[in-house]
C-alpha cells in the first residue's frame, strides 16, 4: 500500500529514443558532429540547466537534448519525465554518473496519485537496474506519499502501519505500543495524544544487516509523527493549520532513511522509533500550565500546547539512549524559527558530536540535500526553567526558538551518546526540477550518505 514501485522506468530497448545531456562546454562539439546541431543552434539552445529541446528526424521525433548547466545537481534530470512526450527514452552516455541521472529522473517523475488520477503518465527511462538510485527514489516516493496524504486518510494507526509494512518487506521486526502500555512507557506521548479520538501509537522497527555481527554499530532513528497538529488549546490560526498534515514529516523521513539502509544491507544494527500521534482539542487534551511526567523521570510544565513535537521526541530519545547507540538521529518538523533562520530548503541541524555533524553537512553538499549546523548554545538553556517542574517545554524569551527546542531535547540525551537533531520543513513550496510541490524527505539522502562516513563503511 505505502511502498509503491516506480512507474517511470522501463527495460532497455532499441526503440527507446535517445536523450543527450550536455553542459555548455560540450555543446559546440556536439553540434558539430550531430545531425541536429544546426537545429539546436538555430533554436538558441545554450545547454542551460533543465532546458529541453525535442530533436526532429526524418520520420518524426528523433530524440531530445537536455541542458545540464554548469552544476552537478542530479535534480536537473527531474525536468525530463514531464518535459518529454510519453514513451520510452534512454540516456546516452555523458559527463554525469548514470545513477545520478536515474535518481533525478525518478524524483521528477513523482506524482501523488492516491486520491487523484495523474495528470498524465511520465515519460519512462530505459535503464539497466540501478539499485542505489532506485532505492533512494523509492524511499523518497514513500516519504512524499506519507507527507502528502491528508490527515483523514493518514492518522496514527495508518502511519504506524506504514512502518509495519516496510519492516515486513525487509524481514525486520516491528512492534506497536498502544493503550495502557503506551501511557506507562511513553507518558509525554500519551499526553500529546490525549485530546484525539485516534489514540497514539509508538511504532518500532528492529533490523540487522546480513553482514552485521551482534556487536555491529547500533544506529537509532527517531521521528516525530504528529499526523495533524491543531496546536491544541494554544490553537493555531486557520492559515497555520493548512499544511499541518505534514507535521509527521520527520517520521516519514526517518522511515524512508530506514528503507534505504535496509535496501543497501548496511552492516549495522538499526532501530527506528516513530511517535504516531495527533494533537487535538477536547476535554481530554493537555492544557497550558499542566505538568507532565516523561519517560526519563523529568517533569515538564506545558508552556505552550503547540510545542508538542518535542514532547513526542523526548520519550523516544530517552528509550533510544538506554541502548547506547553508536549514533542517534532524530527528525521533526519542530519549529518555525528554523524556517525563519534557514528558509524552507535547508534543514537545521544540531549535534553534540563535531565529527558526525561535519560528516552530515559535507554529505548534504555532496548529495544536494543541504543541512546547516546551528549551535546548542548553553547560555540559552536557562530559558527552559520552570517554577513548578524540572523544565518548561518552551523558552521564557521569544528568541532563538530552534536552539531552545534543541536544548530541550538535549536534556533527554544520555551521556556519551552521539546525537544529531534535524529540524525540517518537510515540504517543497514551489515546483522545481526533481522537486515537485508538496511533501519532501529533506535531509534523508544526506543522512544516508553520512552514515558511510560516520561508521567508516565501504561502498559496495
pLDDT (tens digit, 9 = 90+) per residue, 358-369?
999 999 999 999
> For residues 19 and 80, what is the distance between their CA atoms, to the nearest angstrom?
9
Q: Which tens digit of pLDDT belongs to each residue from 220-275?
A: 999 999 999 999 999 999 999 999 999 999 999 999 999 999 999 999 999 999 99
Position 132 pLDDT exceeds 60: yes
CA dihedral 318, 322, 325, 329 (to 10 degrees): -10
* 429 Cβ neighbours under 8 A, 6+ residues apart: 344, 437
Residues 247, 212: Cα–Cα separation, whole Å: 34
For residue 348, list its beta bridge partners.
372, 423
Residue 243: alpha-carbon gap to chain centroid: 16
CATH class of 135-454: alpha beta
> Mean of the pLDDT values across residues 194-219?
98
**pTM of this structure:** 0.97
67-107 per-position pLDDT tens digit: 999 999 999 999 999 999 999 999 999 989 999 999 999 99
Catalytic residue, from 310, 339, 367, 411: name it: 310
pLDDT digits (tens, 9 = 90+) for 395-416: 999 999 999 999 999 999 999 9
**Which one of the listed residues 198, 236, 366, 373 is annotated catalytic?**
236
pLDDT at residue 279 greater than cutoff 80 = yes
pLDDT at 336: 96
The yes/no answer on whether domain 9-129 falls in CATH 3.40.220.10 is yes
* Whole-angstrom distance, CA of residue 355 vs CA of residue 329: 14
Pairing assessment for the beta strands 60-67 and 17-22 based on DSSP bridges? parallel
Q: What is the pLDDT averaged over residues 330-357?
A: 98
Instruction: Indicate the SS3 state at residue 219.
Output: strand
- For the record, the C-alpha cell of 437 comes out as 510541490
SS3 content of the chain, % helix, strand, coil (to 5): 35, 20, 40
- For the chain, give the longest Cα–Cα distance: 81
Domains of the chain, by residue range, sit at 9-129, 135-454
Q: Does the annotation mark 173 as catalytic? A: no
Q: Note the pLDDT tens digit of each residue in 7-26.
A: 999 988 878 999 999 999 99
pLDDT on residue 1: 79
Per DSSP, the residues of 41-106 read HHHT----TT-EEEEEETTEEEEEEEE-TT---GGGGGGHHHHS-SSEEEEPP-SS-HHHHHHHHH
Find the mean pLDDT for residues 179-184. 98
Which residues make beta-bridge pairs with 146? none
310 is catalytic: yes
Segment 363-389, tens digit of pLDDT? 999 999 999 999 999 999 999 999 999
| pLDDT of 457 above 60 | yes
The residue ranking higher by pLDDT, 459 or 138, is 138
Beta partners for residue 66, in sequence order = 21, 52
pLDDT greater than 90 at residue 159: yes
Report the range of poorest mean pLDDT among 56-60, 155-159, 281-285. 56-60
Task: Give the C-alpha separation, 193 to 311, whole Å.
Answer: 11
Using CA atoms in the order 125, 129, 135, 141, what is the torsion angle rounded to 10 degrees?
A: 20
- On the 0-12 / 13-18 / 19+ scale of CB atoms within 10 A, 273 is buried
Residue-level pLDDT at 274: 99
In whole angstroms, give the CA distance from residue 41 to residue 53: 11
Measure the CA–CA gap between 179 and 193, rounded to whole angstroms.
11
C-alpha cell at 225: 509523527
Q: So what's the pLDDT on residue 406?
A: 98
Strand duo 60-67 + 52-57: pairing: antiparallel
Set of cell numbers at residue 436:
515537485
- Cβ atoms of 435 and 428 within 8 Å: the answer is yes
Question: What are 292-303's pLDDT values in tens digits?
Answer: 999 999 999 999
Q: How many residues does the chain have?
A: 460
pLDDT beyond 70 at 129: no
Amino acid at each position: 500500500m505505502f511502498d509503491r514501485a516506480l512507474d517511470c522506468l522501463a527495460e532497455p530497448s532499441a526503440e527507446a529514443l535517445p536523450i543527450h545531456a550536455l553542459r555548455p562546454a560540450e555543446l559546440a562539439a556536439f553540434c558539430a558532429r550531430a545531425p541536429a546541431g544546426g537545429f539546436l543552434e538555430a533554436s538558441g539552445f545554450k545547454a542551460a540547466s533543465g532546458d529541453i529541446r525535442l530533436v526532429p528526424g526524418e520520420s518524426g521525433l528523433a530524440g531530445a537534448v537536455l541542458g545540464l548547466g554548469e552544476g552537478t545537481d542530479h535534480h536537473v534530470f527531474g525536468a525530463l519525465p514531464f518535459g518529454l512526450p510519453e514513451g520510452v527514452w534512454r540516456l546516452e552516455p555523458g559527463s554525469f554518473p548514470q545513477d545520478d541521472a536515474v535518481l533525478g529522473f525518478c524524483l521528477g517523475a513523482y506524482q501523488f496519485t492516491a486520491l487523484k488520477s495523474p495528470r498524465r503518465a511520465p515519460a519512462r527511462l530505459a535503464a539497466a537496474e540501478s539499485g542505489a538510485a532506485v532505492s533512494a527514489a523509492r524511499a523518497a516516493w514513500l516519504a512524499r506519499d506519507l507527507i502528502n496524504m491528508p490527515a483523514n486518510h493518514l492518522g496514527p494507526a495508518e502511519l504506524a502501519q506504514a512502518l509495519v509494512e516496510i519492516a515486513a518487506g525487509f524481514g525486520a521486526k516491528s512492534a506497536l505500543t498502544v493503550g495502557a502500555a503506551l501511557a506507562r512507557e511513553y507518558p509525554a506521548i500519551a499526553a500529546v495524544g490525549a485530546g484525539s479520538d485516534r489514540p497514539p501509537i509508538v511504532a518500532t522497527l528492529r533490523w540487522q544487516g546480513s553482514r552485521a555481527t551482534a556487536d555491529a554499530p547500533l544506529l537509532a532513528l527517531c521521528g516525530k509523527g504528529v499526523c495533524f497538529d491543531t496546536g491544541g488549546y494554544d490553537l493555531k490560526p486557520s492559515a497555520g493549520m493548512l499544511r499541518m498534515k505534514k507535521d509527521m514529516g520527520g517520521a516519514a523521513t526517518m522511515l524512508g532513511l530506514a528503507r534505504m539502509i535496509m535496501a543497501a544491507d548496511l552492516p549495522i544494527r538499526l532501530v527506528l522509533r516513530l511517535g504516531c500521534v495527533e494533537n487535538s482539542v477536547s476535554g481530554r487534551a493537555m492544557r497550558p500550565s499542566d505538568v507532565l511526567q516523561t519517560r526519563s523521570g523529568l517533569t515538564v510544565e506545558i508552556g505552550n500546547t503547540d510545542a508538542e513535537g518535542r514532547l513526542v521526541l523526548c520519550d523516544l530519545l530517552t528509550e533510544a539512549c538506554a541502548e547506547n547507540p553508536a549514533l542517534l538521529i532524530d527528525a521533526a518538523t519542530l519549529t518555525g524559527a528554523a524556517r525563519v533562520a534557514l528558509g524552507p530548503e535547508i534543514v537545521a541541524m544540531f549535534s553534540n558530536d563535531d565529527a558526525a555533524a561535519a560528516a552530515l553537512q559535507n554529505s548534504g553538499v555532496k548529495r544536494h540535500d543541504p543541512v546547516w549546523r546551528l549551535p546548542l548554545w548553553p547560555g540559552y538553556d536557562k530559558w527552559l526553567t520552570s517554577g513548578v517542574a524540572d523544565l518548561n517545554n518552551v523558552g521564557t524569551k521569544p528568541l532563538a526558538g530552534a536552539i531552545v527546542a534543541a536544548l530541550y531535547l538535549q536534556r533527554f540525551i544520555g551521556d556519551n551518546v552521539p546525537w544529531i537533531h534535524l529540524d525540517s520543513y518537510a515540504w517543497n513550496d514551489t515546483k522545481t526540477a526533481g522537486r515537485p510541490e508538496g511533501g519532501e524527505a529533506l535531509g534523508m539522502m544526506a543522512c544516508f550518505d553520512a552514515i558511510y562516513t560516520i561508521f567508516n563503511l565501504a561502498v559496495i
